[in-house]
């Protein structure tokens, strides 16, 4: 018996991690694909007249076990991978892509969907049902259902190639990241770096059975070095190594892969009748067109650049005092930290003792209780995929009810520490979406994955303030998943327009800067002393520190992404580096380094789902600034506004996002809210 092909015999049918063997995956995928095909065939072979219920609804609920196993496998391939899992991914991705293409190009199935769609006026559909019908029909059309047989075959091959090449891109970045380390023998080279970080470097060396200290390109190792190391040559060396990830001409180089991926995306777009891949993507976004996106980004660029240039001038003055005539990109974090300390007397290492991970987690859990009535109880009987992972059962207190919550709202997995098999960064994902079926509201299983510094034998995991905001960011996404309350799994939780998906995450970050809230949890892990008022005030004031620089950085990513996906023809006569430098020049605040390029490790757009969508971070900032302004005007814990916001979160993709936003706010979001927050 293969455990993955049966209904999971675990609490809330959670993923049975402790019973899964790697050899279970491939046979399970093959069997579950067959089962799902039988479900599709049952729809096709049904002799009754096609209706919304026997076609659209049945299709929406199909493939449940296949989805569950796919979620388990691909989430583990990001959070707990191995050579074996990566090989399985290479074997599994083509068969899943082939199955997906087979369904989306099933003419008999599509003819039934089209019949229901063409006759939708005769069904008395509610708003969510109409959305499901529209999204289902569009999904098939955008997957090639209206193409002729020859073009369908072309599209199928393109989709399979894209799947494998994007997977390879991510594996190359991970390998390139893991392959580098800097071994330090002389402690003097680490001057300026806080002792807690040096201890972390010593632990890394010990794990590698080396004397001294080891620095890696993992974020908790890389960033403190760039921020605090007085040794400029060391900063330069590590920055150079980071900038060369998958850009060194070696085994894990991604430059050719980028060109191949972009050509494939362009071919896909043209086959489906779009002039560029960005046009194809943006048809299904709030922004609608590349022109509108580039206008939006360029408007922000014009307004933000003077602020950014002024910030860099301040850093240049500091560097000049140290005898540096021309400041470089690898100097930025070091001098920005010096300036931040001078302006606000804020030092990450001084703040970290006030932000032990457990305390910050309790704070975000408490915020969810205060705003939305959620409670979190650790469960030790639910399987985990690694000993570092914790699982919480989420329950909900109904408004006005003082009794303890008893109803299961969600499961929440948290996985906070770096490992060799975990990709860098932080993300929220799900193992199971929420949906309603046969009178039951089946609740979601959500996961947050981060890369925070591990506790040592003497010290708990202490977060930088940036890491505090990262946890709140991912928890905002998690709330979107946990509060989901829709009929259909395909419209549930974060299944919304991509440029709307960052609203809940970025919105929650705002609370980290509110003195009223900070005072409830920023307490020294040894003494229990509350972070002093002047520090809290400075955190609030420092919110917009280097905002111009950060805005330019994000705009650079967004503009590059949009040009990659609208001007792929230009790449034929250029290197990836030349293309990147050309389209990011207007946003660059430091001299470009001929030895480094960001694109070959730009996983968001070449492995993740942000192709022609990176702008959505800034787009969503307008939404989150406007939404939080509404709270600020009426009290940051205002229960009536929180209740309206909860409706927005729980609605998932059942309504047009602008309609959802206007229902919450009473008006469309204003760019001025972001500019006011960022630059006063």
Which residues are known to be catalytic? 474
What is the secondary structure of 246-265 as a DSSP string? Answer: T-SSSTT--HHHHHHHHHHH
Tokens 């229990």, residue located: 528
Take residue 7 and report the two structure tokens written for it. Answer: 């209904």
252 φ, ψ to 5°? -105, 25
> 435-437 and 440-442: which strand pairing?
antiparallel
Distance CA 467, CA 465 (A): 5
The closest of 579, 474, 508 to 255, measured between CA atoms, is 579
664 and 507 Cβ atoms separated by less than 8 Å: no
353 and 464 Cβ atoms separated by less than 8 Å: no
Distance CA 259, CA 566 (A): 13
Distance CA 407, CA 421 (A): 35
Take residue 530 and report the two structure tokens written for it. Answer: 């509350």
H or E element that contains 338: helix 332-344
156 and 104 Cβ atoms separated by less than 8 Å: no
Render the burial of 287-306: b for 16+ CB within 10 Å, e for the rest. Answer: beebeebbebbeebbebbbe
C-beta neighbour count of 538 within 10 angstroms: 18
CA 84 to chain centre: 25
214 and 187 Cβ atoms separated by less than 8 Å: no
The closest of 639, 310, 675, 353 to 524, measured between CA atoms, is 353
The closest of 614, 435, 468, 332 to 57, measured between CA atoms, is 435
429: which strand partners?
447
Distance CA 140, CA 111 (A): 11
Positive or negative: CA dihedral 337, 340, 344, 345: positive
254 φ, ψ to 5°? -110, 5
The closest of 380, 378, 375 to 404, measured between CA atoms, is 375
Distance CA 556, CA 586 (A): 8
The closest of 232, 231, 235, 253 to 244, measured between CA atoms, is 253
34 and 63 Cβ atoms separated by less than 8 Å: no
571 φ, ψ to 5°? -70, -20
Cα distance between the two ends of the chain: 63
């Amino acid at each position: 018996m293969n455990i993955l092909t049966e209904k999971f015999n675990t609490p809330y049918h959670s993923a049975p991690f402790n019973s899964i063997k790697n050899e279970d995956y491939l046979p399970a995928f093959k069997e579950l694909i067959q089962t799902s095909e039988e479900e599709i065939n049952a729809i096709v072979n049904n002799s009754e007249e096609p209706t919304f219920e026997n076609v659209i609804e049945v299709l929406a609920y199909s493939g449940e076990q296949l989805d569950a196993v796919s979620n388990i496998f691909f989430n583990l391939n990001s959070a707990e991978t191995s050579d074996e899992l990566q090989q399985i991914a290479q074997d599994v991705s083509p068969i899943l892509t082939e199955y997906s293409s087979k369904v989306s190009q099933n003419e008999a199935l599509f003819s039934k969907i089209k019949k229901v769609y063409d006759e939708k006026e005769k069904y008395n559909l509610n708003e969510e049902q109409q959305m499901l019908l529209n999204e289902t029909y569009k999904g098939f059309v955008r997957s090639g259902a209206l193409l002729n047989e020859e073009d369908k075959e072309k599209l199928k091959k393109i989709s399979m190639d894209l799947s494998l090449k994007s997977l390879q891109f991510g594996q190359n970045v991970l390998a390139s990241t893991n392959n580098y380390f800097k071994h330090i023998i002389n402690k003097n080279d680490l001057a300026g770096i806080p002792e807690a970080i040096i201890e972390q470097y010593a632990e890394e060396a010990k794990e590698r059975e080396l004397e001294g200290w080891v620095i890696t390109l993992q974020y908790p190792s890389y960033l403190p070095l760039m921020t605090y190391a007085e040794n400029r040559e060391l900063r330069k060396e590590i920055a150079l190594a980071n900038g060369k990830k998958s850009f060194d001409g070696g085994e894990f180089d991604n430059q050719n892969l980028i060109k191949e991926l972009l050509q494939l995306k362009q071919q896909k777009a043209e086959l489906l009748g779009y002039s560029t891949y960005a046009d194809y993507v943006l048809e299904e976004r709030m922004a609608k067109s590349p022109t509108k996106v580039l206008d939006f980004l360029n408007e922000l660029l014009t307004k933000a650049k003077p602020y950014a240039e002024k910030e860099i001038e301040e850093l240049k003055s500091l560097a000049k005092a140290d005898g540096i005539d021309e400041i470089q990109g690898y100097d930025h974090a070091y001098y920005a930290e010096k300036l931040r300390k001078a302006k606000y007397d804020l030092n990450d290492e001084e703040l970290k003792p006030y932000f032990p991970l457990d305390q910050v987690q309790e704070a975000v859990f408490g915020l969810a209780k205060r705003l939305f009535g959620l409670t979190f109880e650790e469960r030790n009987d639910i399987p985990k995929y690694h000993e570092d992972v914790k699982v919480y059962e989420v329950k909900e207190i109904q408004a006005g009810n003082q009794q303890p919550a008893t109803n299961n709202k969600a499961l929440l997995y948290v996985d906070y520490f770096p490992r060799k098999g975990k990709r860098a960064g932080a993300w929220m994902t799900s193992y199971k979406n929420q949906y309603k079926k046969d009178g039951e509201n089946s609740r979601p299983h959500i996961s947050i994955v981060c890369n925070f510094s591990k506790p040592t034998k003497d010290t708990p995991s202490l977060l930088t303030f940036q890491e505090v905001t990262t946890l709140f960011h991912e928890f905002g996404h998690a709330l979107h998943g946990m509060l989901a309350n829709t009929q259909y799994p395909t419209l549930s939780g974060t299944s919304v327009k991509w440029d709307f998906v960052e609203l809940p995450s970025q919105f929650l970050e705002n609370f980290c800067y509110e003195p009223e809230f900070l005072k409830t949890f920023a307490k020294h892990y040894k003494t229990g002393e509350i972070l002093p008022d002047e520090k809290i005030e400075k955190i609030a004031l420092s919110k917009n520190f280097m905002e111009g620089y950060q805005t330019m950085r994000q705009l650079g990513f967004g503009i590059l992404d949009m040009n990659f996906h609208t001007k792929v023809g230009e790449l034929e006569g250029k290197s990836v580096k030349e293309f990147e430098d050309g389209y990011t020049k207007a946003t660059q605040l430091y001299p470009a380094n001929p030895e480094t390029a960001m694109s070959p490790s730009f996983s968001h757009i070449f492995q993740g789902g942000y192709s022609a969508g990176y702008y959505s971070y800034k787009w969503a900032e307008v939404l989150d600034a406007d939404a939080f302004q509404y709270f600020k005007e009426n009290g940051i814990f205002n229960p009536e506004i929180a209740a309206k916001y909860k409706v927005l979160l729980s609605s998932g993709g059942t309504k047009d996002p602008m309609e959802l936003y206007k229902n919450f706010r009473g008006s469309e979001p204003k760019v001025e809210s972001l500019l006011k927050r960022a630059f006063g």
